[in-house]
Amino acid sequence: MVAAPIFGYLGDRFNRKIILSCGIFFWSAVTFSSSFITEQYFWLLVLSRGLVGIGEASYSTIAPTIIGDLFTKNTRTLMLSVFYFAIPLGSGLGYITGSSVKQVAGDWHWALRVSPLLGMITGTLILILVPAAKRGNVEQLGGQLKARTSWPRDMKALFRNRSYVFSSLATSAVSFATGALGMWIPLYLHRAQVVQKTVETCSSQPCSTKDSLIFGAITCFTGFLGVITGAGATKWCRLKTQRADPLVCAVGMLGSAIFICLIFVAAKSSIVGAYICIFIGETLLFSNWAITADILMYVVIPTRRATAVALQSFTSHLLGDAGSPYLIGFISDLIQQSTKESPLWEFLSLGYALMLCPFVIVLGGMFFLATALFFLSDRAKAEQQLFFLPAKKTDQKNLWIRATQWAFCFQMRLLLKSCFPPLPHTYNSTSTIHQREEALGIFRIGAYSKKSVSL
């Protein structure tokens, strides 16, 4: 989270492919090394898990901007959907693979030794296969992209971009819900089954991982279905309205809140019904990931996109999943301590705490509706600024030189006309004609010299 703004700054100014690969290699090395840390060095394990975030910040910040410079319009939406499908896919496979490796090896450390191998392969393939896309290359339309501005000026422009601000707040709401649900829903469903007396209370490790596996599989599949559904709905709605992107996100968020609420109703009597509500709710919730990134590509110019993605990532983690699991757990403990401990009250207290998630999701839907109000104007501003950013000081100096030469040539022409008026057709003074030709030669030299100055 903290490293995201740093990678955003670097991603707008240096070779993104190299930065991206180095971040993945760093993530792989730290993850693999942390698997050998012993119990007496627990603080080092905590530190290593924090360092993992540095690698994650590199590709979550830079990768969308590379995709944005390789594709446009509906194709870009589709490619971003494929990219963001990896988030729920990786989360779901993490639940499944981590639990399975732990059971097979009998040690959770081995779960941290599988993913680094995939990371090293991915980083190598990026260096070899991914083209070095030029910033704004596919959007120039024959023009020339102007020079980038300073980081403070970029930040000032982003904070004044209302579509970007509101969509970032909406993304924070999505992150809040996914972080909390991913942490607590498996335990909530297990407690529901304890209350229904279909399973026994787990008092010693290892406990059953069935709920984690099922939830992981649902998260994996709904992630795929959600991003594809969102991309398809946006493509169709763009034929109806130019505000399709934020409106589809808003509808998805508000619809998701309804089914997330129904989870806590269904879980009291039917685990299958709860899983159905989770399936529909997560599908709608995941439908806006790729679209949100596409909104950013529309309203932010190419030379600021890495910074914009980094700031959005920082905000979504800070206001979202960085604290939501702990907040839900804290609220659940407070409610649970208010009365005598029992399996039923443990189940209900966690459910009451998780009810905060649908309210936050509704708030995110409102932020997307606010984005729709300013989306067209902010997109138009970005298109206008794309090739008309303020010129560098050297460019301004050259402009003054050209303006001075044009003024000199214009004054010379006026002077020639005043000193050598047009001759009558009967007047044939050879000396006067030679004087005019000599003076006109001076003018032509001045006129040609202006062409040697380039911007």
Q: In the chain, where are the structural domains located?
A: 4-131+150-385, 393-452
The residue length of the chain stands at: 455
Give, in order, the Cα–Cα distances in Å from 257 to each of 196, 263, 284. Answer: 25, 10, 9
Type of residue numbered 256: S
Torsion-angle region of residue 301: left (phi > 0), alpha (psi -120 to 50) or beta? beta
Range with the poorest average pLDDT among 280-294, 354-368, 394-408: 394-408
Kindly report, residue by residue over 173-198, the tens digit of the pLDDT. Answer: 999 999 899 888 988 888 888 888 77
Rounded distance, CA 231 to CA 247, Å?
13
Does residue 431 register a pLDDT over 60?
no
Rounded average pLDDT over 376-387? 80
Does residue 216 register a pLDDT over 60?
yes
The SS3 assignment for 423 reads: coil
pLDDT at 133: 66
Task: Please give the mean pLDDT across all residues of the chain.
Answer: 77
pLDDT at 428: 45
Taking the model in full, what pTM does it have?
0.71
Residues 393/400, Cβ–Cβ less than 8 Å: no
Rounded average pLDDT over 1-13? 70
4-131+150-385: CATH topology is Growth Hormone; Chain: A; (1.20.1250)
The SS3 assignment for 201 reads: coil
